[in-house]
Structure 1
Amino acid sequence: MKRILIVEDEQTIAELEKDYLEVEGFQAEIVASGTEGLHKAVKEDYQLILLDVMLPGMDGFEICRKIRQERDIPILMITAKREDIDKIRGLGIGADDYIVKPFSPSELVARVKAHLARYERLVTKEKPKDILQIRGLVIDSASRRVHVNQEEVTLTTREFDLLFFLASHPDRVFAKDHIFERIWGLDSMGDMATVTVHVRKIREKIEADTSHPQYIETVWGAGYRFKS
C-alpha cells in the first residue's frame, strides 16, 4: 500500500484529503507543522507528499527545497494564493505540481494517481547499457544517478529527466516548448520559464564554469543543445 504524507495545518482540509485518498486504497498520514512534516518526509518511507504552502514552523517552499536535497519522490504543493503559484512555476523549488484551494477531491486523487504512475514508470524503466558517458559526465538511467568527474551530484526528478533527455539526443536543438511538453507533459501547469530555470540549476550542478558550459549549450532564439 502506497504511503502519502499530508503536511497541512487546516484540519478540515487535511481530513478531507486523507478520507478521499484512503477510499482509493492509499495509506495517508497527517502532520500539521512544517518542522514535523520535514522530519517525517526525510526520515520515513513515503511515495508522495502533499505539501501546503502556508504552515506553522516552516513554510512549504523551504520544506520542499530541503526534501529535494534528501529525497526524490513526487511533491504536490497546495496553495490558495496567486503569488505562490508564480513562485512554484518560476523558482524551480522542486515541486512536481500544484493544486489550488478550493479544489475538487476527485481532482486531488487524479493528480496523485497521475504523479505516482509517472514516477513508477521513470524508476522502473531500466534498460541494459542505459549509461551515458560524456567526457567527465556519467548518467545512469537505471539507478538515476549522475556523476561528474567521479563525484556524485544530486538532481531532482525533473532535472534528471531533462538532462537525460538532452544527453540522449546529442547535438540536436530542442525548443523550450518541445522540452516542456516532453518532460512535464501536455497537461502540466507551468510555462516555458520553468525549462530555463531547470537548465540553470542543472548547469550549476554539472558544469565547471556555468558561463561557458561544456554540456548544455544555449542556442539563442532556438532552444538548447547537448554538446557531444
Structure 2
Amino acid sequence: MEDDERVAAALDAFLVRSGYATARAADGASALTMLGADTEVVLLDLGLPDTDGIDLCRRIRGRSDVPIVIVTARNQVTERIRGLRAGADDFVVKPYDVHELLARIEAVTRRARPVHPESEARVRVQDGVVEIDLVARQLLIDRTLVELTRKEFDIVAMLARYPGVAVPKERLIREVWNTDWRGFGHSLEVHVGAIRKKAGQQRLIETVRGVGYRLAG
C-alpha cells in the first residue's frame, strides 16, 4: 500500500521485474479484504485515507503472521517504535533505495518461511513419481535417490516451494547465490542443465520463455 500513485507504479514495476506478483490496496479496508493465505509480504504505508496505518498493522497482525514492512515518510523514532510494537517486522523510511527495500523484503520472508513438519516436508509431483524431501534435502525419482549438489538441490527446492509457478531467473539467482549480479545467469543455466541430465528421461524442470523455470507437473 503506497499513497503516492507515481511511486506506487514505479515500485510495482520493480517488484514484478524482481519476481514478485503484486497487488495494491488503495486503503485499509481493501487491504484487509485482499489479505490471503498466499500473501507473502505486506508493504504498509502509514498515510492511509480511511484508517491509521499503525492500527491497520495491528489488525493485520491479529489475522495473519504475514511479514509486514512499514514503508513511510514518518521518520520519528516514536513512530518506528509504535510500528514495531504493533507487529511490523521492519520499518523503512522514505526516500529509500529500491534495492535495499528488496533486500529487506527478502530478509523478512526468509525469517517467516516455516520449518516444514514431517507431514509437509515432502513435495510429490507427477503422480508421486518425483518426490522432493525439503528436510532431508533429497530428490527421488521412482523411489531412486538422485544425487544433487547443494546448489542444484537449492534450485529444485525453490521451484518446489512454488508448484506450478514460473520462478523468474533473477529470483532464483538471489535466493540460491544471494546476489543480484546477472553474471550468475549462465551458472543458473549450467546447474539446471546438470539437474536435467541427472533426472534422465524424467522431465523435471520446464523453461518458461522470457521468465525463468518451473517444476514440471
Query: Mean alpha-carbon deviation: is it higher for 22-31 or for 8-17?
Result: 8-17
Partner in structure 2 of residue 92 of structure 1: 85
Partner in structure 2 of residue 131 of structure 1: none
Once the two structures are superposed, the pairs formed by residues 1-228 of structure 1 within 5 Å of their partners are 7-41=1-35, 43=36, 45-83=38-76, 85-90=77-82, 92-120=85-113, 123-124=114-115, 126=117
TM-aligned CA deviation for residue 117 of structure 1:
1.3
Please, which runs of 5 or more residues in structure 2 have no aligned partner?
Answer: 120-217
Please, which runs of 5 or more residues in structure 1 have no aligned partner?
Answer: 1-6, 129-228
Report if aligned partners of 1:8, 1:33 keep a CA contact under 8 Å in 2. Answer: no
TM-aligned CA deviation for residue 69 of structure 1:
0.8
- Per the normalisation by structure 2, the TM-score is 0.50
Q: Specify the SS of the correspondent of 2:22.
A: strand
TM-aligned CA deviation for residue 45 of structure 1:
2.9
Q: Could you tell me how far apart the structure 2 residues matched to 1:55 and 1:44 are?
A: 23
2:79 maps to a residue whose letter is: K
Work out the percentage of aligned pairs sharing the same amino acid.
Answer: 33
TM-aligned CA deviation for residue 103 of structure 1:
0.6
- Per the normalisation by structure 1, the TM-score is 0.48
Q: Could you tell me how far apart the structure 2 residues matched to 1:12 and 1:26 are?
A: 19
2:115 maps to a residue whose letter is: T
Q: Could you tell me how far apart the structure 1 residues matched to 2:37 and 2:7 are?
A: 23
After superposition, the CA RMSD in angstroms is: 2.0
TM-aligned CA deviation for residue 111 of structure 1:
0.8
Bigger share in strand: 1
1:18 maps to a residue whose letter is: D
How many residue pairs match? The answer is 118
Q: Could you tell me how far apart the structure 2 residues matched to 1:62 and 1:24 are?
A: 30
1:33 maps to a residue whose letter is: D
TM-aligned CA deviation for residue 125 of structure 1:
5.5
Q: Could you tell me how far apart the structure 1 residues matched to 2:116 and 2:37 are?
A: 24
**Closer, same or farther: CA 127–89 of 1 in aligned 2, 3 Å:** farther
Q: Specify the SS of the correspondent of 1:78.
A: strand
TM-aligned CA deviation for residue 86 of structure 1:
2.1
Q: Could you tell me how far apart the structure 1 residues matched to 2:19 and 2:70 are?
A: 21
2:10 maps to a residue whose letter is: L
TM-aligned CA deviation for residue 38 of structure 1:
2.2
Q: Specify the SS of the correspondent of 1:27.
A: coil
TM-aligned CA deviation for residue 82 of structure 1:
2.4
Q: Specify the SS of the correspondent of 2:54.
A: helix
